[in-house]
């Protein structure tokens, strides 16, 4: 497991956006970021799940969160611009994005892959992070110390049969992260990296491996050290890396 002990006030006064914050890894990251002092903008598809996370953050006495219900599969350029305008009015800047929302799609040979599902997966896993990053770049530039974190996967580094659009989208995510990191090489106030969570006890994992005993897997809480490290100031200067949460 990646080892890092975060100080309690690591993310004090930071404004952070977490996508897919309603459940799984995103939910845990949102709560941990709030617990370390951040105001977290919870973006996700299902309002009730976001409400629950909002309430949990409030009940714990952490900085009040904000909720952005948004379906990344169908969001338009207009929706992204509207989000940017709202965040600009509310906060004036953004200190970090965790691009975490993800869709597994189906596990089947490329020959049989349903093109509709292919496009859905690409939309959520790759195109949405591109659109969000591009649209929100002015707000990130306004931060003294911003961190952009993409979410990768082992199948985004070495292709594996039947993982189809999911694997290809994660290769694309690694590429997007590297291109952006290279472009920002001389922009010290914005760093861009990726995390490969590794096998983690969530619904997505259970869906991908129905025969596996979830009890044998690390929980989202177990893999949080690298999520905290890359979001906070201790990772200043780390640029263009893809880090294993369980490495």
Q: How far is the CB of 227 from ligand NAP (least distance, A)?
A: 11
Q: How far is the CB of 105 from ligand NAP (least distance, A)?
A: 10
CA separation for the pair 64, 30 (Å, rounded): 12
Is the distance from CB of 66 to CB of 82 less than 8 angstroms? no
CA separation for the pair 135, 17 (Å, rounded): 13
Q: Which residues bind ligand NAP (CB under 6 A)?
A: 20, 22-26, 44-46, 49, 71-73, 100-103, 124, 151, 153, 197, 199-200, 202-205
CA separation for the pair 195, 151 (Å, rounded): 5
Question: Quick one: 201 exposed, middle or buried, by C-beta within 10 A (0-12, 13-18, 19+)?
Answer: buried
Specify the residue, 94 or 132, whose C-beta has the smaller distance to ligand NAP: 132
Q: How far is the CB of 101 from ligand NAP (least distance, A)?
A: 4
Q: How far is the CB of 193 from ligand NAP (least distance, A)?
A: 15
State the catalytic residues. 166
* Minimal CB distance residue for ligand NAP: 24
Specify the residue, 22 or 172, whose C-beta has the smaller distance to ligand NAP: 22
Q: How far is the CB of 132 from ligand NAP (least distance, A)?
A: 11
Question: Quick one: 47 exposed, middle or buried, by C-beta within 10 A (0-12, 13-18, 19+)?
Answer: exposed
Specify the residue, 147 or 202, whose C-beta has the smaller distance to ligand NAP: 202
Where do runs of H (alpha helix) occur along the chain? 24-35, 47-59, 77-90, 115-122, 128-141, 164-183, 203-208, 224-231
Alpha-carbon distances, residue 240 vs 132, 162, 193, 198, 220 (angstroms): 18, 28, 5, 19, 23
Specify the residue, 143 or 227, whose C-beta has the smaller distance to ligand NAP: 227
Q: What is the SS3 assignment for 61?
A: coil
Specify the residue, 53 or 94, whose C-beta has the smaller distance to ligand NAP: 53
Helical packing angle, 24-35 and 47-59, nearest 10°: 30
């Amino acid at each position: 497991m990646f080892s890092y002990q975060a100080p309690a006030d690591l993310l004090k006064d930071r404004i952070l956006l977490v996508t897919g914050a309603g459940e799984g890894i995103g939910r845990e990251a949102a709560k941990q970021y709030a617990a370390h002092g951040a105001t977290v903008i919870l973006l996700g598809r299902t309002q009730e799940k976001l409400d629950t996370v909002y309430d949990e953050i409030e009940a714990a006495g952490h900085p009040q969160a904000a909720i952005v219900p948004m379906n990344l599969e169908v969001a338009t350029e207009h929706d992204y611009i509207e989000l940017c305008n709202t965040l600009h009015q509310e906060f004036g800047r953004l200190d970090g994005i965790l691009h975490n929302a993800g869709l597994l799609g189906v596990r089947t040979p490329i020959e049989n892959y349903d093109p509709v599902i292919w496009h859905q997966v690409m939309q959520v896993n790759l195109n949405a992070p591109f659109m969000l990053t591009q649209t929100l770049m002015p707000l990130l530039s306004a931060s003294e110390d911003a961190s952009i974190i993409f979410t990768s996967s082992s199948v985004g580094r070495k292709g594996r049969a039947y993982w189809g659009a999911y694997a290809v989208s994660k290769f694309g995510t690694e590429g997007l992260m590297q291109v952006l990191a290279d472009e920002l090489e001389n922009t010290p106030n914005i760093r861009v990296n990726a995390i490969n969570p590794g096998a983690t006890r969530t619904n997505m994992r259970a869906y991908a491996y129905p025969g596996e005993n979830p009890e044998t897997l690390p929980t989202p809480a177990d893999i949080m050290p690298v999520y905290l490290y890359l979001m906070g100031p201790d990772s200043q200067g780390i640029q263009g890396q893809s880090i294993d949460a369980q490495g």
